[in-house]
Amino acid sequence: MKRKIRLLGSRLIRGAELRTSRIPGFYRLSVEQRLAFLAHSFNLTDEQVSQLRNGNALRIEHAVNMVENAVGVLGLPLGLGLNFLVDGREYLVPMAIEEASIIAAASKAALMIRKGGGFRTETSDPVMIGQVQILDLKDPEDAARRLLDSKREIIERANLANPRMVQRGGGVFDIEPRIIDGGEGFGKMIALHLLFNVCEAMGANAVNYACEAVGSMVENITGGRVNLRILSNLADRRMAKAEFVLPVEYLATKELSGWEVAQRMVEANRFAEVDTYRAATHNKGIFNGICAAALALGQDWRAIEAGGHAYAAKDGRYKALTSYWVSKGNLHGKIELPLQVGIVGGATSAHPGVKILMTISGVDTSRQLAGLLAAVGLGQNFSAILALSTVGIQKGHMALHARSVAISVGVPPEDIDDIAQEMIKRGQVKIEVAEEIYRNIKQKPKMKKENDELPVETFAPGKVVLFGEHATVYNYPGISAAIDIGLKMRVNYDPDGPRFLHPDFKQVFPVPESDNDIRMFSKAVYEALEMYGLQKEQIGIQIESELVPGMGLGSSAAFSVALCSSLRRYRHIESKKRWNSDLFEEVQKLESIFHGHPSGMDAATILSGGVLWFRKGPPREFLPIQMPSPMSGIICLVEPGARTIELVQRVKRRREMHRKYIDNILEDIGNLTVDAGIALGTGDCVEAGRLMFRNHELLARLGVSTKALDRAVELLLDYGVLGAKLTGSGGGGAVIAIVKPEQQYALVEELSGEFAMVLPFALGALR
């Protein structure tokens, strides 16, 4: 089962574990697909996924409370280390780093090591060390004895500074006075160590409070002078170990046996054990992984790295933090280092993005986090010395470098991999080579797989609401209509599929939610592929839309209809009838991704292709209105739209406060919609137009229109349209108008300077 998450207050509660961190082809998915996977797997909210995608989880209002003199927020690439099996548990490891190949190397190492059973870890209690520096001592040895004799009193005084930590079972539990020779001009001093169990925190602040709390007492006991009182980042009482055992046959290459590779790796590690120059680079590679994960998970990565490097020099000479050996046909790898980490306090509490990433990591305790980071560091080192001792480090970097070069010359996303691979094949990763290869590709016709089913092309129309908005929520009728502008979908062969290529949506306003909208489209593709059993199919899905999202034109429903229709046709389950109850339910399932609990009106209207009378019921009513002839209309995009759910809630609140007043308006809209159905059915354009104006007036009284929408309707009235009103939930968006056929295109041209976009359409022309 996947790990399930529920909210209790502001805490995240994790239940069942992630089913697997092994996600083949994850790197080939589009960003939208990767985010859809995370949302699906971890029940992330739309806002959380949008924050990950846009890099805006940490905003300036958070930053000003985290650092001084804040002027902004700096982003870093954020990726996932995959394939990690640690102590029998699956982990996805968030990693924030700017250096290419780090995340890929960690994931590759974890994939190989899981063949031997994954990583095993061992961590000690979360004990940090606080230091109190004592100088000007007449007899340091006697002062040390007096400190030990007063241990109980010192511990009690220290713990007064952190009562809540003590309540949780932590706090100072022991002291250790260390006599240190300060050298000429200083003499001997004492470093009094406070040993502090910090529970689930990293603990820096708590330790510092404790050190400061005992300063005056220590001076009275020793007769000396206290200077520094602060924690040590050499947290050698808070150790983490990780190790693995891997049969050597898994290391074999075309040129070398598994035993030869293993022996070379042992030799490479030995170099770092005996030579400080090599050890510095060796350990830097370890911290490439540890610090990338620590940064993403809100840890003090500077303290972690400082403590790790200090520990590497604990015997008086700086050396490797890892060890490797071969025994009984297996390569053994091990790392041991101090890791001062926490899952409460600091950035883990203050940074909204870190909270999301902690959820994805699945880490529940600080000791679990320490073990995971140790495994990441060992895996990073394994990957580095494996490459160094066989093919060389540059080959591992080559693929990502080649992709960067291809991107730099303007290669479109769908061609980047092909051009990168060709440059690597030639051994020439250069800008001029990328340009040459791209020119050749553009000149050649695209190769396509021999497949009778492909390409599949479908069209789905958009829709407008003609009458009855908001009243339909309270079971009054509504009338909507499919329009002859819409969305085209094409399903092609794609060797890297299945994937959803970045959609081509018209966007006329800088709508903040537009990126989130696109992510929702990607999530719907993910759901549809699963619904039709096409998760491994080599297909690419591309759309081209005349519809602007968020304008009440049914872009999500058109997308859902086109997607389901395309995949049904590809699977040979397409119905000959335009309306099909199974298809309707499948479309509704996708529509729920966009709207939670859709009424079905949009999907039914688009599937019908005509003008539809609708009542939500029960029982639900879908009745086509047969029009004698098509009616001409225009759509004017006025201003950014608002979320339907917010407008529905606004009407609900007003109804609770003014029940009779709002109910009278809703009833008038319902009665008007009945009259409008008759006018449309008889082809009475003039009456239908008059009722549209009246409907808009009622919606304005309901509180869902805006000044801009009202001005747009008045302007259209001045231009002599037959009728005009807002369409959809209101709060912004578009207005629609019924016009005389001979006026339509002249009005489009005349009004194009007044509105962001003006689109002509026909009612009743699609059936």
Instruction: Give dist(CA 264, CA 266) in Å, integer.
Output: 5
Q: Is 546 tagged catalytic?
A: no
Instruction: Give dist(CA 38, CA 49) in Å, integer.
Output: 8
* Triad 388, 392, 398: Cα angle to 5°: 125
* Angle of helix 685-702 versus helix 659-682 axis, rounded to 10: 160
- DSSP helix/strand/coil, 579: coil
Q: Which two tokens stand for residue 195?
A: 């040993």
Active-site annotation holder among 4, 115, 284, 536: 284
Query: With the C-alpha atoms ordered 526, 532, 534, 539, is the resulting torsion angle positive or negative?
Result: negative
Active-site annotation holder among 300, 517, 546, 668: 300
Q: Is 99 tagged catalytic?
A: yes
Active-site annotation holder among 4, 47, 99, 453: 99
492 within 8 A of 540, measured Cβ to Cβ = yes
Q: How far is CA 423 from CA 101, 403, 410, 429, 662, in A?
A: 18, 9, 15, 5, 68
Active-site annotation holder among 62, 332, 397, 488: 397
User: Is 80 exposed, middle or buried (CB count within 10 Å of its CB: 0-12, 13-18, 19+)?
Assistant: buried
Instruction: Give dist(CA 509, CA 504) in Å, integer.
Output: 15
Q: Is 332 tagged catalytic?
A: no
Q: Which two tokens stand for residue 737?
A: 């108008």
β partners of residue 344: 201
For residue 163, is the peptide bond before it cis, meaning its omega torsion is within 30 degrees of 0?
no
Q: Which two tokens stand for residue 504?
A: 């081509």
Q: Which two tokens stand for residue 188?
A: 């001997």
Q: Secondary structure of the chain: what % helix, strand, coil (to 5)?
A: 45, 20, 30
β partners of residue 540: 492, 499
Instruction: Give dist(CA 587, CA 595) in Å, integer.
Output: 12
Q: Is 397 tagged catalytic?
A: yes
> DSSP assignment of 373-432, as one string?
HHHHHHHHHHHHHHHHTTT-HHHHHHHHHHHHHHHHTT--HHHHHHHHHHHHHHT---HH
618 within 8 A of 479, measured Cβ to Cβ = no
Instruction: Give dist(CA 405, CA 427) in Å, integer.
Output: 13
Q: Which two tokens stand for residue 617?
A: 């019921």
359 within 8 A of 352, measured Cβ to Cβ = no
Supply the residues annotated as catalytic. Answer: 99, 284, 300, 397
